[in-house]
Amino acid sequence: MSAPSNAGTILDRILESRRAEVEHRKKVLPTTALKYGVAAASPVRDFAGALTRPGLNVMAELKPASPSRGVLREPFEPAGLAQSLEAAGAAALSVLTEPEFFRGSLKNLRDARKSVQIPVLRKDFIFDPWQVWESRANDADSFLLIVSALSDAQLKELLGLGQELGMEPLVEVHTREELDRALSAEARIIGVNNRNLKTLEVSADTSYALVGAIPEECIAVSESGISTNEELAKLRAAGFDAFLVGTRLMLSDNPAALLAELLGAAARKD
């Protein structure tokens, strides 16, 4: 099965931009050089373990901007944000590295990871094995795979390479068909994105519709559009192991205080 066409969507435009940049970067920095970087990288932190700790597990997302909301945070200081969010109780971090639409960078990833002890996921639009080697060479502990952007063959290859490098990927789905494809590829961490990447509309109904079809042995993560303690508690009760919270935190004057409030209030409702 081939990945569905995304012509005319924001996802299509992002992928077109990323493909051009990756092709250029591969010529400048071949895979052989990246493998030397991987050999010198810090040991991989246990991303799957962080998402399955007792209690509420929130992956806090660091991103300067988004296609749907524009600039979210300026100035953007990844090290300080990462430290404060870890202290507030984040189980892991997700750092955007896509430069054009999210204003991200690999430097943000490195700076964030150096400042914390929790695992850090590279969030980007990954479709080439070269990007997986690049992620590990920059000390990422995991990375995102978006099922709708990949063919079955790509998904299986990238998932397998990540597992080989000790980086269990977060495999993102939005529909039952995408979930079935992820499970067929033997994904172990399933992220249900409540945001439709083609329209940017957000609905938590997506998580509730799909969580029952995620096998017990998989780690289930609800992503996007989570903004209150009540939503966290309901999603946890529905069967999710972890939650990604990004825009809500980045728009806050005090992201760490907001995260602590979300975790504490939701925990008291258990």
**What torsion, rounded to 10 degrees, do the Cα atoms 241, 157, 15, 37 define?**
90
Amino acid 198: pLDDT: 76
Distance CA 265, CA 270 (A): 9
- Stated as kind and residue range, the H or E segment containing 189 is strand 189-193
CATH 3.20.20.70 fits 10-268, yes or no: yes
Amino acid 229: pLDDT: 85
pLDDT for 270 beyond 70: no
Per the residue annotation, which of 63, 142, 148, 234 is the catalytic one?
Answer: 63
Amino acid 164: pLDDT: 97
- 122 residue type, one letter: R
Report the chain's terminal Cα–Cα distance, integer Å: 41
Per the residue annotation, which of 108, 193, 194, 229 is the catalytic one?
Answer: 193
Amino acid 123: pLDDT: 98
Residue 172 is among the residues annotated as catalytic for this protein: yes
Amino acid 245: pLDDT: 95
Q: How far, CA to CA in Å, does 120 sit from each of 64, 142, 249?
A: 16, 7, 17
- 60 residue type, one letter: A
Per the residue annotation, which of 57, 61, 84, 168 is the catalytic one?
Answer: 61
Average of per-residue pLDDT across 26-32: 94
- 140 residue type, one letter: A
Among 70-84, 201-215, 254-268, the range scoring the smallest mean pLDDT is 254-268
Neighbours of 137 (CB within 10 A): 20
Per the residue annotation, which of 98, 172, 178, 231 is the catalytic one?
Answer: 172
Per the residue annotation, which of 84, 86, 108, 123 is the catalytic one?
Answer: 123
Residue, of 196 and 179, whose pLDDT is higher: 179
Segments in 95-228 forming alpha helices (H):
99-102, 106-114, 129-137, 152-164, 176-184, 205-210
Residue 193 is among the residues annotated as catalytic for this protein: yes
Distance CA 88, CA 83 (A): 9
Q: Percent of the chain having pLDDT more than 90?
A: 82
Residues 6+ apart with CB under 8 A from 93: 59, 60, 61, 62, 82, 85, 86, 112, 113, 116, 118, 119, 120, 121
Distance CA 237, CA 21 (A): 42
- Torsional sign, CA 81, 77, 44, 223: positive
Residue 223 is among the residues annotated as catalytic for this protein: yes
Helix (H, G, I), strand (E, B) or coil at 220: strand
Residues pairing with 123 in the sheet: 96
Ranges of each domain in the chain? 10-268
Among 3-7, 82-86, 145-149, 152-156, the range scoring the smallest mean pLDDT is 3-7
Residues 6+ apart with CB under 8 A from 67: 10, 14, 101, 102, 200
Amino acid 135: pLDDT: 98
Amino acid 160: pLDDT: 97
Per the residue annotation, which of 178, 223, 229, 234 is the catalytic one?
Answer: 223
pTM score of the predicted model: 0.92
Amino acid 67: pLDDT: 86
8 A C-beta contact, residue 145 and residue 155: yes
Q: What is the largest CA-CA distance in the chain?
A: 53
Going by pLDDT thresholds of 50, 70 and 90, the confidence category of residue 27 is very high
- 63 residue type, one letter: K
Amino acid 69: pLDDT: 87
- Stated as kind and residue range, the H or E segment containing 170 is strand 170-173
Among 10-14, 57-61, 174-178, 190-194, the range scoring the smallest mean pLDDT is 10-14
Mean pLDDT score of the chain, rounded to an integer?
A: 92
Q: Could you report the per-residue pLDDT of 34-88, keeping only the tens digit for each?
A: 999 999 999 999 999 999 998 899 999 999 998 888 899 999 999 999 999 999 9
Per the residue annotation, which of 224, 229, 231, 234 is the catalytic one?
Answer: 224
Tokens of 107: 């430097």
